[in-house]
A and B are shown apart, each in its own frame.
Chain A
Amino acid sequence: MHRFANPARFMRVSGVVLPWLAGATIVLLAIGLFLGFRAPADYQQGETVKIMFIHVPSAMMAMFGYSSLALASAMALIWRHPLAEIAAQQTAPLGAGFTAICLVTGSLWGEPMWGTWWVWDARLTSVLVLFFLYLGYIALVHAFDDPTRGSRASSVLALVGAVNVPIIHWSVVWWNSLHQGSSVLSMDGLKMGWSIRIPVLVMALAFTLLFTLLLVIRMRAALLERKIRALRVLEAEAVPSDYSFAAPEASA
């Protein structure tokens, strides 16, 4: 794992992998969407059940994103890998994006099904809190004039958040069961047929690839950005050779 922590090697390897990853993502997404559209409409929910093919994979990515954010942050704090720091920082907006997609699609699905855009259901509430945790992390990364301080502080925050996520989730579940008689979401009791399950699985795989693809692209862009900044600093520091000698003479 440490071998891949070298930014130059990462650029080389990811450059080779990138086209294949992109191709696989596009193919899987196409297959998943095709299967999703072909899937039979639910006898109760009608065509709206197909929102699930976007909703469920993005919910999975929302949680996957936060765990990889915490993992990368731990690696950044323990080994001071510059690449782990970049990975954590680039994961956060992706995770926040998928969380937002999950919330929006859930809301769009809820309106025809439950007759309301928002329900204080335990799962919805937990995902909303997760979204705020992502936003707090992103805000902290960019809050400092010194970028190293921002990335270190946000790594600590990611770990604090990761420890708290299960506690928040269970307290929200408890709160919800106390205040709500029965949850409107009863997916657990609902047996999923294979005609629905296969598209969901394909889409979950496609979204995982999409997440990885976007992460690699973002990490490459961030590395290039750092390189450009370093070159600019070098350029600014490179004083013309005659300047340092000319100045004292002029004053003398």
Chain B
Amino acid sequence: MSSFTAIVRRDLRLAFRQGGDGAMAVMFFVLAALLFPFGIGPEPELLARVAAGVIWVTALLAALLALDRMFMTDWDDGTLELIRLSPLPLELAVLAKCLSHWLVTGLPVLAATPLVALMLRLDPSSLPMLMAGLAIGTPVLSLFGSAGAALTLGARRGGVLVSLLVLPLEIPVLIFGVGAADAALSAGAGAAQLAILGALFAFALPLCPLAAAAALRQALE
């Protein structure tokens, strides 16, 4: 377990000292979401109607930003080989990478959501559900992203390719995340959508590290 926390701590330290990915992801999230009023017009009713969807789509895209670097830097300097040789199973190492990816990109996006929701005139009563959905859903994005990043490791134009691979797989997360926020407005409380998001999380938690570790082993051969 200590090597698990060591990977997470190392990644977080790198992220903070290099001051790149986390700040970039959240800036992209805020900026991209605030482009929508310019695109579709500033009418409050219109913005309130699309706010949850805009926030979810931009959060999805923000999670893609740092993906191609998830394993790439470690692969380039040989750290990945050492991680593979360590007694820690590669699957758990991938899980540690997912956790640090989420802490660096998912968590800041989650923290910035109330601000963006306010500016997009989201109905305040649906904000708790939106936040709860993002809290469960963004880790799923990191997990799917780890599989995509591992599969495209060493590929030409890996950054574009990883979005092509991962985005179709993330459609269910988007559907139920927005569904939870929208349901908070109407009769339903959105608990069912949150439960399905939780099921997606429980499904991705063991399977995505398995697939990613299999892909990493091929890359390291």
Contacts and interface: CB of A to CB of B under 8 A. Distances in A.
B171 interface: yes
Contacts of A129: 168, 171
Contacts of A172: 171, 175
Contacts of B161: 136, 139-140, 143
A145 B172 contact: no
A168 B172 contact: yes
Contacts of B154: 144, 149
Contact of A157 (B151, B196, B200): B151
Contacts of B164: 132, 135-136, 139
Interface in B126-184: 147, 151-152, 154-158, 161, 164-165, 167-169, 171-172, 175-176, 179
B31 interface: no
Interface string A132-176: 110110011001110001001100110111011001100110110
A143 B176 contact: no
Given A140-B161, A143-B156, A156-B214, A167 B151 contact: no
Contact of A143 (B155, B167, B200, B219): B155
Contact of A153 (B171, B203, B215): B215
Given A140-B152, A143-B152, A156-B151, A171 B218 contact: no
A231 to B, nearest CB: 26
A190 interface: no
B111 interface: no
B191 interface: no
A160 B218 contact: no
B165 A168 contact: no
A161 B148 CA distance: 11
Interface in B48-93: none
Interface residues of B, number: 28
Contacts of A145: 156
A175 B200 contact: no
Given A132-B164, A156-B215, A159-B211, A143 B157 contact: yes
A178 B169 contact: no
A55 B31 CA distance: 43
Interface of B: 147, 151-152, 154-158, 161, 164-165, 167-169, 171-172, 175-176, 179, 196, 200, 203, 207, 211, 214-215, 218-219
Contacts of A163: 207
Interface of A: 77, 129, 132-133, 135-136, 139-140, 143-145, 149, 152-153, 156-157, 159-161, 163-164, 167-168, 171-172, 174-175, 178
A156 B165 CA distance: 12
A145 B157 CA distance: 12
Nearest to A134: B168
Contacts of B175: 171-172, 174-175
A108 B157 CA distance: 35
Contacts, number: 75
A135 B175 CA distance: 22
A153 B151 contact: yes
B158 A167 contact: no
A224 B206 CA distance: 40
Contact of A168 (B156, B158, B169, B219): B169
B168 A133 contact: yes
Contacts of B215: 153, 156
Given A140-B161, A174-B175, A168 B168 contact: yes
Contacts of B214: 77, 156
Given A132-B164, A140-B151, A175-B179, 14 more contacts: A132-B167, A135-B164, A139-B161, A143-B158, A153-B215, A153-B218, A157-B151, A160-B147, A160-B169, A164-B169, A164-B172, A167-B203, A168-B168, A171-B196
Given A129-B171, A178-B179, A144 B156 contact: yes
A71 B218 CA distance: 20
A157 B165 contact: yes
Contacts of A175: 175, 179
B200 A167 contact: yes
A143 B171 CA distance: 24
B172 A171 contact: yes
B194 to A, nearest CB: 14
Contacts of A136: 161, 164-165, 168
